[in-house]
A and B are shown apart, each in its own frame.
Chain A
Amino acid sequence: MKTGFSVFLAAFVALGLSWCGLVYGPLKQLGGAQETTVLQSTDKWPVQRTGDATLGLQVYRANGCAACHTELVHQTGAANVLTLTDIGVHKAADLKDFTTSLLGTVSELTTASNTVVANLAGWNGELPKVIYSGADDTVVSMLGDKFKAVGVKTEARVIATGADIARGWGTRQSVAADYLYDSPVQFGSLRAGPDLANIGVRAPDLNWQLQHLYAPRSLVKNSTMPAFRYLFTVKKIGAQPAPDALVLPKEFSPATGFEVVPTDEARQLAAYLVSLKNNAPLYEAPFTPITAAK
């Protein structure tokens, strides 16, 4: 490193390599990505947003919601789940005995025996009942067949697992395809608030969203989400109350004779939030949706 040129060259090559690898490569590989189809269906994914929701993404960006919220669901694995849906003429206690005997006699089922017994302990016949959830899919098919033979209906599903999924933040992990129509893509970097990738499924009500933006504490006790009152206007009630005025609990409502009306921005933001869904099984992130189960 005696001359300026050699330093320049070294830095140029080093950064150039990573530029090719981490900028140009992904651009080539992913830049031309197209929409995909939902598993076992002809529906396209991601769903194109409505005009309002598309504008809402910009409101989300402009207000820095991504400083506290992520839109990225993790999953740690997948599980095969067997659920009892209809036990026919049998009694719960009989079925328990039957299951225990199966577990003792069929060799493929011995590994799952502890889980199943634990699941059935204290079960009084309420349905649907998850009897097995684990990695082994032969257990699910074997048990399912044995039950079918005696007239008991079951449902076998594949589900994603992990804390995010268990919290209801999504049905499966987020994949690249989910973000095709986002610009800018806003993964977020801090979960000061819950993940929002699936908020459209969790809280599909526009009015709930608007009220939550105006006064989070009116819906969630002790919420630490900042209120976004500046996205609303407080007006004197005219001859007739505005049809879209918020219906607020007493301690959050404005002075009598006034009403809170969302601005266009608030409405667009709510439309965007409701459009955020992570509920379609994809090739990269498969699971069995509830309706499609046999």
Chain B
Amino acid sequence: MNLTENNENKAICSSEIDASCRLPLLALFGGAALWLVLGLALGIVAMLSFHQPDMFADCSCLTYGHAQTAANDLLLYGFVMPAALGVILWIFARLSQVTLVLPIVPVVAANLWHLGVFVGTVTILFGGSTGHPWLEYPRAAAVLLFAAFMLISVSAAATLGFRTHRELYPSHWFLLAGLLWFVWSYGTANLFLVGNHPPRGVVQAVIGWWLTNNLLFVWLALAGIGIAFYFLPKIVGKPLASSGYALFGFLTLIFFGTWVGIPPSAPVPAWLPTVSAFGALLSIIPVIALGIVAMKTVCCAKVPCVGGSFCFIKFGVLSFVVSSLLYIGEFCPRASRVLDFTWFNVGVTQWQLLGFAGMILCGAIYEILPRVMGKELPFAKLAKLNFFLFAGGTLLFVIPLLIGGVEQGMKLRDANIPFADASAVALKFLRISTTGQLLVLLGALCLLLNILVMTIQWKLGLVKTVVSVVKDSLIEGSAYQPLPGDKEAKS
């Protein structure tokens, strides 16, 4: 490509690269942390409906159907996506050994993205959801998200194009594929379902399932594992265990994983769920393969973990393997007969979003922020606390849902047990799970506080510099004036 420029850039040092990412990353991470806190809080508010069904009877905004939907979307579109995009930009710049290309573009894009999330959330709370799972944002919000994603992808791809090493690193495969993945699946689904002429009948649901799987399973895996494969070798100080295995995992993930999604009980032609069940079975391969690569990379590393980024990312990878296997299990016809339409499903999704993607992203953010800002985290202790709150909270949040879901499913299958009893079982577990949600929320507050204080410190620093520059020039200017002392001396 641009050879001369490449040669010039070789001399660039990491701190310059980091500094070039500062503005876009602050915009992406700051917003993401804020949405995470709001999303978790809204999720807890939604859960209150189960403990006190009359609570929001007069307040349409916070009724369960609104709050829960908005909360889910905030986690995926508000937190996971922008945070992942920020990390991707930084990784691409670091791997390319060049400063971020067009840094202003992702700054604009970040704001568009957050505007889109805001519009979408407000619309859902006021009853404007499209009614398609994970695609609830109305057209205006979807267009904003799509445009923002495209802009960030352009900046990322350009940064990749200027790389000094021609050969791609395994993280590149995952993250690059992730960029294409979202654009295509989100674009397609919106065109068909939120466009002017949605298809008739169950095709809508099939497209919805296709999208859900491609976002929640494949996209999250691409982004999360891509990021983990960058940081794990860095942290333990040795190369990724096996590029060959990683490639194998990557290819099997994109070729098999994308076929999952149609539940076995769906009222659609039988070949669709059958294909999905096969896809799910084959998807066990990449999950295990990627897990092994990560495990081999970190094993026998003498790096202490104590709540730092390493902990976050290790926990995230472990969550990836477990939550993916549970997710795949849901597509086994036998299991689905029990698990269909129970809290199990909810638990698995939250595990994927918070336990896997959220964990890895938090770890990555704590690793990146100090570099990008050129100073230590203001509350390093809170970052550690964040890990324990997240890890404990996620497990406490998710595991009761899984167990409660299985129990609920068993009871629902037996028509002699009244429906109310089957629900009552789940309610017991929901109480514990709401406690877990609270812990995760506290953890998210730690993240938000760190990012917020860093941003404010940095802005204050800017103001100080400006003030001192102005002061200097004033003083310089005042040199021409007689000093007060001179006056006195004269008089």
A30 adjacent to chain B (CB < 8 Å): yes
Q: Mark A7-23, 1 if CB is under 8 A from B, else 0.
A: 11011101101110111
* Chain A residues within an 8 Å CB radius of B56: 226
A21–B413 Cα gap in the complex (Å)?
Answer: 32
Given A176-B202, A191-B341, are A15 and B185 also a contact pair (CB < 8 Å)?
yes
Question: Which A residues are CB-close (under 8 A) to B128?
Answer: 62
In whole angstroms, what is the CA distance A80 to B14 when docked?
A: 75
**Among the listed stretches B21-29, B61-69, B103-111, B301-309, which one makes contact with chain A, having 4 or more residues with CB under 8 Å of it?**
B61-69
Query: B214 at interface (Cβ–Cβ under 8 A)?
Result: yes
Inter-subunit contact B64/A226 (CB<8 Å): yes
**A21 partner residues in chain B, CB cutoff 8 A:** 259, 275
Q: B384 near A: Cβ within 8 Å?
A: no
Interface residues of A in 158-203 (CB under 8 A from B): 163, 166-167, 173-194
B419 A194 Cβ-Cβ under 8 A = yes
Are B201 and A7 touching (Cβ within 8 A)? Answer: no
B420 contacts chain A at the CB level, 8 A cutoff: yes
- B258, A7: Cβ atoms under 8 Å? no
Of residues 228 through 254 on chain A, the ones whose CB sits less than 8 Å from some CB of chain B are 228-230
Contact of B129 among A11, A64, A174, A225 (CB under 8 A): A64
Establish whether residues B268 and A26, one from each chain, have CB atoms under 8 Å apart when the complex forms. Answer: yes
Say yes or no for B8: interface residue by CB 8 A criterion.
Answer: no
**A26/B206 in contact, CB under 8 A:** yes
Does A129 have its Cβ within 8 Å of any Cβ on chain B?
A: no
Q: How far in angstroms is the closest Cβ of chain A from B215?
A: 12
The answer to whether the Cβ of B53 comes within 8 Å of any Cβ in the partner chain is: yes
Counting chain A residues whose Cβ lies within 8 A of the other chain, the interface size class is 35 or more
Cβ of B345 within 8 Å of any chain A Cβ, yes or no, is yes
Q: Which residue of A lies closest to B427 (CB)?
A: A224
- Confirm or deny: A156 has a beta carbon within 8 angstroms of a beta carbon on chain B: no
Contacts of A184 on B, CB cut-off 8 Å? 130-132, 193, 198, 204
Q: How far is the CB of B96 from chain A (nearest CB, A)?
A: 11
Judging by beta carbons under 8 Å apart, are B192 and A23 in contact?
yes
Give the complex CA separation of A166 and B177 in angstroms.
Answer: 47
| Contact A63/B247 with A4-B172, A163-B413, A179-B202 known, Cβ cut-off 8 Å | no
Residues of B within 8 A of A193 (CB): 423
Q: A8-B180, A64-B129, A224-B427 are in contact. Are A31 and B166 (CB under 8 A)?
A: no
Q: Is the CB of A224 within 8 A of B423?
A: yes
In the complex with contacts A18-B258, A230-B57, A185-B204 CB distance below 8 A? yes
Q: Is the interface of B mostly helix, strand, loop or mixed?
A: helix
CB of A66 closer than 8 Å to a CB of B: yes
Please give, as numbers and ranges, the residues of chain B lying within 8 Å of A93 by CB-CB distance.
none
A109 beta carbon closer than 8 Å to chain B = no
Quick one: CB contact mask for A59-98 with B, threshold 8 Å, 1 for yes? 0011111111010101010000000000000000000000
Contacts of B116 in A (CB 8 A): none
- Residue pair B65, A229 in contact (C-beta under 8 Å): no
Least distance between A273 CB and chain B CB atoms (Å):
15
Asked if B269 and A29 sit within 8 Å, CB to CB, the answer is yes
Q: How far is the CA of A215 from the CA of B419 in the complex (A)?
A: 19
Whether a CB of chain A sits under 8 angstroms from the CB of B167 is yes
- Nearest-neighbour CB distance to chain B for A68, whole angstroms, equals 7
Give the residue of B131, B172, B201, B275 whose beta carbon is less than 8 angstroms from that of A180: B201
CB-CB contacts of B158-200 with A at 8 A, as 1s and 0s? Answer: 0011000011100011001100110011001000110000111
B203 interface residue (CB < 8 Å to A): yes
Smallest CB separation, B380 vs chain A (Å) = 37
B177 contacts A62, CB within 8 Å? no
Q: Which of B63, B206, B427 contacts A226 (CB 8 A)?
A: B63
User: A187 CA to B259 CA in the complex, in Å?
Assistant: 20
Q: Which of A15, A68, A194 contacts B184 (CB 8 A)?
A: A15
Measured in the bound complex, the distance between the Cα atoms of B345 and A139 in whole Å is 42
| 0/1 interface trace, chain B 415-459, chain A, CB 8 Å (1 if under) | 100011001001100000000000000000000000000000000
In the complex, chain A residues whose CB is within 8 Å of the CB of B374: none
A1, A64, A167: the one within 8 Å of B68 (CB): A64
User: Assuming A163-B413, A166-B415, A185-B202, is B207 touching A23 (CB within 8 A)?
Assistant: yes
Contact A186 B184 (CB under 8 A): no
Q: Is the CB of A27 within 8 A of B203?
A: yes
Q: Please determine whether B65 and A185 come into contact, CB atoms closer than 8 angstroms.
A: no
Q: Nearest CB to that of B345 among chain A residues?
A: A189
Nearest B residue to A192 via CB reads B423
Indicate if the CB atoms of A64 and B65 lie closer than 8 Å.
yes
Nearest-CB residue, chain A, relative to B414:
A163
Residue A223 at the chain B interface, CB threshold 8 Å: yes
Instruction: Please name all residues of chain A whose beta carbon is closer than 8 Å to the beta carbon of B255 when the two chains form the complex.
Output: 14, 17
Please report the C-alpha to C-alpha distance between residue A224 and residue B420 in the assembled complex, in whole angstroms.
9
- Given the interface contacts A63-B127, A230-B58, does A30 sit within 8 Å of B202 by beta carbon? yes
Q: How far is the CB of B264 from chain A (nearest CB, A)?
A: 10
Residues from chain A with a CB closer than 8 A to the CB of B209 are 22
Least CB distance, A29 to chain B, in whole angstroms: 6
Instruction: Please report the C-alpha to C-alpha distance between residue A60 and residue B127 in the assembled complex, in whole angstroms.
Output: 10
* Contacting pair A10 B423 (CB below 8 A): no
Query: What separation, in Å, do the CA atoms of A36 and B415 have in the docked complex?
Result: 31
B460 at interface by CB-CB < 8 Å: no
What residues of chain A lie closer than 8 Å to B337, measured between beta carbons?
74, 76
Q: Is A281 an interface residue (CB 8 A)?
A: no
Within 8 A of A (CB), among B42-73: 49-50, 53-60, 63-66, 68-69
Q: Give B69's nearest chain A residue, CB to CB.
A: A64
Q: Are B68 and A7 in contact (CB under 8 A)?
A: no
Q: Is the CB of B66 within 8 A of A64?
A: yes
The 6 A-B residue pairs whose C-beta atoms are closest, nearest first, are A64-B65, A166-B415, A62-B127, A184-B131, A227-B57, A61-B131
Interface residues of B (CB under 8 A from A): 49-50, 53-60, 63-66, 68-69, 127-133, 157, 160-161, 166-168, 172-173, 176-177, 180-181, 184-185, 188, 192-193, 198-207, 209-210, 214, 247, 250-251, 254-255, 258-259, 261-262, 265-269, 272, 275-276, 337, 340-343, 345-346, 412-415, 419-420, 423, 426-427
Jot down 22 A-B pairs with beta carbons below 8 A, ordered by A: A1-B168, A4-B172, A14-B258, A22-B206, A22-B209, A22-B272, A23-B206, A26-B207, A27-B207, A32-B200, A61-B131, A62-B128, A64-B64, A64-B65, A67-B68, A74-B340, A163-B415, A183-B200, A191-B341, A194-B419, A224-B423, A230-B63
Binding site for B on A (CB under 8 A): 1-4, 7-8, 10-12, 14-15, 17-19, 21-23, 26-27, 29-33, 61-68, 70, 72, 74, 76, 163, 166-167, 173-194, 216-217, 222-230
